[in-house]
Every structure is written in structure tokens, then in C-alpha cells.
Amino acid sequence: MNSGEMPKVNEELSGFHVGINQFGEITTSYDIDKLNTFLDKNVEDKKFKEVEDFKRNVSTPEKEETLLD
């Protein structure tokens, strides 16, 4: 990838930016709770991979949110 080229990302993450401010704090262009919801929905948690009942016990939100809501 060239230095000016943007990486390919999921459509829901379009426009997502991460930075570090002058105090060393991580800043993002999206609400952290919406980012966590996206990760929960799209990334398998390796810690729970071998727990058979995990997927059955996870409650699904009634309304799915996107990062842009």
C-alpha cells in the first residue's frame, strides 16, 4: 500500500479515524460503544471459542445499530 492510499475497510467503518492527542489519549471519530457493538457483531472472541453455550446465551439487540447512527 502506498503512503497516500487508504486501506480497504468494512462499509460500516467508512470514515473511521483513530488518533492520539497531545495528552496521549486515543481519539476516534466514532462513539466507542458503537465501535464495540460492531466488533462484537463481526469479530469472533477467541476467549469464548471453546465455550459451547456462549453463542446461545448472548442476547441480540432488538434494533441493530450502525456506526453512523
The residue among 29 and 47 whose pLDDT is bigger is 29
Give residue 18's identity as a one-letter amino acid code.
V
54 band by pLDDT with thresholds 50, 70 and 90? low
Number of Cβ within a 10 Å radius of residue 48: 13
Q: What is the mean pLDDT of the chain?
A: 76
Alpha carbons 35 and 28: distance in angstroms, whole number = 10
Q: 24-35: per-residue pLDDT in tens?
A: 999 989 888 988
pLDDT interval class at 15 (50, 70, 90) = confident
Instruction: Determine contact, residues 17/28, Cβ cutoff 8 Å.
Output: yes
pTM as predicted: 0.51
Q: What distance in Å separates the CA atoms of residue 61 and residue 63, rounded to the nearest whole number?
A: 5
